[in-house]
Amino acid sequence: MSVSTEPTEAAPAAPTAATSKSPVRLTDRASDEIKKLIKAKNVPEGFGLRVGVRGGGCSGMSYILGFDKQREHDLLFEIDDLTLVMDRRHGLYLMGTTVDYHDGLDARGFTFENPNAASTCGCGSSFGV
């Protein structure tokens, strides 16, 4: 066995401790559906629910919602026994946002109610500030 002293990839940042002061709120329906998805999709231990934004969509920005590991610039939040992972730069756009889940005849899926959105598209998956 040999030990290399050559520089390698930068070590990942130390995990950030989770807090309960999340800029995003999950409704009970959203929380329940996310927990079902975690079980159904066998989401690995150490993954959290990533909520964020990215450029794109018909209104300029679109939402990110999925399962992911913590990255260097992320903050962690504990909500209803779920770990929410969010890039610290996205908090400005998501402050006060409520994530809900609808399962009806006219619509099914997660929705975002964002008080920071100056405009939204018809489907609700993108917004402008």
What's the pLDDT score for residue 56? 67
Q: pLDDT band at 114, cuts 50/70/90?
A: confident
Q: What is the pLDDT of residue 100?
A: 94
More confident residue, 28 or 115: 28
Write out the H or E segment, with its range, that includes residue 34. Answer: helix 28-40
Fold of 24-124: Hypothetical Protein Aq_1857; Chain: A; (2.60.300)
Rounded Cα distance between 8 and 76, Å, is 27
CA 70, 117, 102, 80 torsion-angle sign: positive
pLDDT digits 0-9 by tens, 15-69 = 445 555 889 999 999 999 999 999 999 999 999 999 998 876 555 778 899 999 9
Pick the closest to residue 70 from 90, 49, 89, 91 (CA basis): 49
**C-alpha span between 102 and 53 (Å, rounded):** 21
Handedness of CA 25, 29, 31, 37 (dihedral sign): negative
Q: What is the DSSP letter of 17?
A: P
Domains in the chain: boundaries: 24-124
Q: What is the pLDDT of residues 81-108, one digit of tens each?
A: 999 999 999 988 899 999 999 998 887 8
pLDDT higher at 42 or 117: 42
pLDDT for the residue numbered 126: 53
Write down the pLDDT at residue 14. 42
